[in-house]
Each structure stands twice: as structure tokens, then as C-alpha cells.
Amino acid sequence: QVQLVEAGGGLVQSGGLLRLSCAASGSSATPTARGWYRQAPGKERELVATITNGGITNYADSVKGRFTISRDNAKNTVYLQMNSLKPEDTAVYYCNTQTFTFRIYSYWGQGTQVTVSS
């Protein structure tokens, strides 16, 4: 099993920035992919950004050019740099990690609140 702990959320004004981190522990299995998702009140959880072991990244259209996902494998940590934040970015942000042992296993953190004021 993998345990994920997110950190870095908070309250910022529109145009501000935050850096989220997600530390993984509890398993020696090599993650095949890591990513960030978010869920705003009354909305479904949506993909924000993902990164594979090979460094291939994918972003939601709504955050392209503003958010950057990165990872530090030595620290088992994935980051989400969030620049030029908008009120529409307000959501609970969840870290996701996938591993593969004959099939894909998916793990989620508890989430960290990001609130962007006007």
C-alpha cells in the first residue's frame, strides 16, 4: 500500500501562487504515474496534471501555462506549482499515485484546500 500526504494549500488572492507537495510512503513499488486532481463544491473530481516515470506530463486545458507538475523520485514527492491563480481554481486538491503489480493500483491522499479570492 501507498500512503500519500498533501501539503501546501491555503488562501491566496487572485494572481497569487502556491506550491503543493505530495509525499508518498509505505510501499517500495515504483509508481508508474503520479498526478493531481481537484474537486470544487458541487462539481466532479477532475484531472489537473499527471506525470509518468519517464517525465511525460499532461495538463488540463484550464491550467496549461499556469501550473507545472514535477517530481523528485529520491524524496518520493510530487509537486504542483500553481501560478496566476484564479478564483475558479478554488477546490480541494488530491494527490494520486498509481503502481503496477500485474494490474494498476491507484492511491489517493486526503486532499488539501486551495482557496483563491477575488
- Give the tens place of pLDDT for each residue, 38-90: 999 999 999 999 999 889 999 999 999 999 999 998 899 999 999 999 999 99
- Give the tens place of pLDDT for each residue, 11-51: 999 999 999 999 999 877 777 889 999 999 999 999 999 99
Residue 88 region by backbone torsions, left for phi larger than 0, else alpha for psi between -120 and 50, else beta: alpha
Hunting for cell 494490474 — which residue is that? 103
Q: Give yes or no for a contact between 35 and 71, defined as CB atoms under 8 angstroms apart.
A: no
According to DSSP, residue 101 is labeled S
Per-residue confidence band for 110, with pLDDT thresholds at 50, 70 and 90: very high
Q: What is the C-alpha to C-alpha distance for residues 66 and 89, in angstroms, rounded to an integer?
A: 11
- For residue 60, the SS3 value is coil
Residue-level pLDDT at 1: 84
Q: What residues contact 110, with CB distance under 8 A and at least 6 apart?
A: 4, 5, 6, 94
Residue 102 pLDDT greater than 90, yes or no: no
